Structure formats: C-alpha cells, structure tokens
Amino acid sequence: MQKIIDMRSRPAFLHDFFGANPDSAGYQTAKWLNQRVGSKEPEHFRRSYTLEGYLAEIAQAGVDKAVIVGRETPGLTIDNDTIADLVASSGQFVGIGSVDILSRGEDNAIAELVRAVKQLGFKAINIEPGFAEPPVQADDPALFPVYEACIGLDVPVCLMSGPTTPNFAYAHPNAVARLARRYPLLKIICFHGYYPFVNEVIGAAFRYANIYLVPDMYIFQPGSALYVEAANAFLGEQLLFGSSYPFRDMKQTVDDFAALGFKDAVLDKVFYQNAGQLLKIAV
C-alpha cells in the first residue's frame, strides 16, 4: 500500500475556523471553501468533531502520519500547547509549531520557538508574514531571527500564503526567492504552494533547492497542472502532499492526488519520502 504523510491537516474540533461550531461564521467559511476546492461533501468535516472521528478519517484515507499545524497571527491563534496536547494523543500525529515575532518581540518569540522544538518536539515552525499586523514580506529583516533560529535548530520554516492572504502583494513568491538566496541552509516549506503564482514559485524552486512546495488543496485548481509537470521533470524532491483537511475531504484528496498524473517513482517521493526526510520522521 502507498505510504502517505499528510503535510497539512487539522481536525474540525480544533477551532471554529475549521468548522467546529455549526452556528459560527467559521462553519460557513469552511463549507464555502470546501465547495470552492471541489469537495464532493462540503460538510464532511463534521465527521472530525471528535478525536475518534478524526482518526477514522485518517484511517479511511490511508494516511500514515498527519502533520498538524499550529497558527499564531493577530487574527487567529491555535497555540503550541494545544497542538502539543493533540499530538500526544496519537502516534500518527506530527506537530508543527508557530510563532509571531512581530507581536511577541524577538526574545519572547525565539524562546517560544526553542521551546516548541526542544521541549514540545515539533518538527518545524510556521509563520504567516502576510497575515501579520502590519503585514510584511517573507524576507523582512524583522523575521531574520526566526530563520536563523530554525537553521540553528535544524528544522524547516513553513510559510503560509495563498488566495486567502488579505493583500495579494504579500502572496507573491518573489520574497521567498530572495529569502532562499539569503539563507541557503534554511529549508523553506511553502504551504498552499504560493498559488495562484504557480509559474513564479516553480521558477523560484527551480533556482533554489531549499524551497519546498505543498500546494495542498490548490493543486486541484485551474493552472495547477504545472506543479505535476514540474515534479515529473525536476521538482520531484521538492513537492509534498497535503490535504488541507478540513478544507477538503481527506480520502477524496488522496484519491484525486494519486490520479493527477505523477510518475510512480515521483508519487512515492511526493506522498511520503520527501516529507519523511524533511521532517525527520519515519513511516
């Protein structure tokens, strides 16, 4: 059977933003986003209202490891301790922490980053420059201490951007290319694959091998066939699978992803080998 590491997954019960409360605006947003990215059952995420339900979704999809991503932005925080508690509940979970250096300040942010990696056991650190207040580019000098700490701890940094970024000026991958050039030892994971700037981010990843792309739910959108074409050519070791659950049905996403046209050897890399090496986890 195909081994699978899902690089971007969260249970619905974790936050209203993921559809935890049927009476909330977050629920309607989760349903709307599922419709936009092609989920056959736009309210499927209700099945993960419990830990048992979430684990059942993972089992049905054939996922070996689910990477659960924390968030820390002025508009939405799912703190590192919450992620750590969830990760501790199952050996199938892998944690990624998050820090917002702009709101915390440098000393506090770096202390939390070190705690997240050394004490909580997280495998990477997520930051969201375009969602900051005020927003900044990914290569803003204010973020350099985070990148340097990640290099020192030998963990990747994850950048989250895409069509939901409030200002598209901060969703373009030019800054990622500059960042990769400045820090060649920094492993940079790009959640949402910097869609819709597919050509541009593929060009950046062609030039800089320390850029890794996780297009997740956007790989099924118009213009995204280039991710697959690039993976079958030169990007095979820099592309990773993510379901973006609960914003797309997990089992449907695994099946749809496998049918996109990846070469067999490339599919193995994208589904689990690349993530396993990058996060230093075994399947």
Instruction: List, for residues 199-211, the tens digit of each pLDDT value.
Output: 999 999 999 999 9
Residues with Cβ < 8 Å from 68, sequence gap 6 or more?
Answer: 9, 10, 83, 86, 87, 93, 94, 95, 96
Query: pLDDT value at position 282?
Result: 86
* Residue-wise pLDDT tens digits, 134-178: 999 999 999 999 999 999 999 999 999 989 899 999 999 999 999
By C-alpha distance, which of 4, 1, 27, 7 is closest to 15? 27
Structural contact between residues 254 and 61, judged by C-beta atoms closer than 8 angstroms? yes
b/e string for 206-223 if b means 16 or more Cβ within 10 A?
eebebbbbbbbbbbbbee
Beta bridge partners of residue 158, listed in sequence order: 126, 189
pTM score above 0.95:
yes
Round to whole Å and give the CA distance between 149 and 157: 10
Query: Which CB contacts under 8 angstroms, 24+ apart, belong to 40-49?
Result: 40/249, 40/252, 41/249, 41/252, 43/19, 44/246, 44/249, 45/12, 45/18, 45/19, 45/245, 45/246, 45/247, 46/12, 46/19, 46/22, 48/11, 48/12, 48/13, 48/245, 48/246, 49/12, 49/13, 49/20
Please give the chain's pLDDT, 283 residues, in tens.
799 999 999 999 999 999 999 999 999 999 999 999 999 999 999 999 999 999 999 999 999 999 999 999 999 999 999 999 999 999 999 999 999 999 999 999 999 999 999 999 999 999 999 999 999 999 999 999 999 999 999 999 999 998 989 999 999 999 999 999 999 999 999 999 999 999 999 999 999 999 999 999 999 999 999 999 999 999 999 999 999 999 999 999 999 999 999 999 999 999 999 999 999 998 7
Beta bridge partners of residue 78, listed in sequence order: 71
Angle (CA) 112-118-124 rounded to 5° is 75
Structural contact between residues 14 and 71, judged by C-beta atoms closer than 8 angstroms? no
Round to whole Å and give the CA distance between 34 and 253: 11
Structural contact between residues 116 and 122, judged by C-beta atoms closer than 8 angstroms? yes
Round to whole Å and give the CA distance between 119 and 122: 8
Round to whole Å and give the CA distance between 156 and 123: 8
Residues with Cβ < 8 Å from 111, sequence gap 6 or more?
Answer: none
Left if phi > 0, otherwise alpha if psi is -120 to 50, otherwise beta: which for 44?
alpha
Angle between helix axes 198-207 and 174-182 (nearest 10 degrees) is 10
Look-up of token digits 């506090």:
108
**Strands 71-72 vs 77-78: parallel, antiparallel or unpaired:** antiparallel
